[in-house]
Structure 1
Amino acid sequence: MIATVLLDYVRVPAGLLVRCGQNPMIAYTAAGYVITPLLTFVDCAVPLPWLWGNCGCAMAVGRSVIVTLMMIFFTAAFSRHKLFWRI
């Protein structure tokens, strides 16, 4: 509902969201099969206790926002290069 109000009435540019909507299969699998393993490898190289540890609700929300933003940029890059995954 908030996205509808922002996109229709306030006229916020929605380029990244539109690109994610054009390529939903990449968007669905990017977080689980690309972003999370990459963050796990980064955690092995550089210790990031806030990434996977028990650090409270605020850090979990922050971690979710980071993973979601990375998924949006990943999917938008595939859509920009016209690499679509459709069934």
Structure 2
Amino acid sequence: MLFLGLCFEAYQGGIKKDPPSYSYFFVTSGLAFMALLGFSIICDFYGCVRSTKFLVMSGQNPMIAYVAGDLLIMPIAGLLGLTPLLHYFNADVAFGFLRGVMLTGIAVLVTMFFTRIKWFWRT
């Protein structure tokens, strides 16, 4: 799929998300398949279950993982007065990356907590 998406890149003006092009669909689905294949090999073939447990627990409760940042972490940060401090991370690319890693890590920890206490949010 990835190769097919790269072949379609020459058509429709390249890879575009808005409006979506065929190359965008094929490249993103090909990359997702490659990531799934890689993590399956790591977890199943090499037996690295303990080091990838956080990914498995987040995958078991995807709705909590998806909304934890906007509906739980950021409101709590606002109540504690931490949101002005987060704006300092917008000054540089490296700090922006660090902000993303921190917020994603906290969201994963929240998701792991809710998965551990067996509180699932299903659609």
TM-score, with length taken from structure 1: 0.78
Q: CA deviation at 1:41?
A: 2.8
Check if 1:65 corresponds to 2:113.
no
Letter in 1 for 2:93: C
Alignment pair present for 1:28 and 2:63: no
Q: Shift of the alpha carbon at 1:17?
A: 1.2
> Please, which moves more after superposition, 4-13 or 77-86?
4-13
For 1:6-85, what aligned pairs fall within 5 Å after superposition? 6-7=42-43, 8-9=45-46, 11=48, 13=50, 14-42=52-80, 44=81, 48=85, 51-53=86-88, 54-85=90-121
Select the structure with the greater relative contact order (CA < 8 A; seq sep ≥ 6).
Answer: 1
Aligned-residue offset at 1:66: 0.3
Q: Which runs of 5+ in 1 are unaligned?
A: none
How high is the TM-score relative to the length of structure 2? 0.58
Q: Which amino acid aligns with 2:72?
A: V
Aligned residue-pair number: 84
Percentage of matched positions with identical amino acids:
36
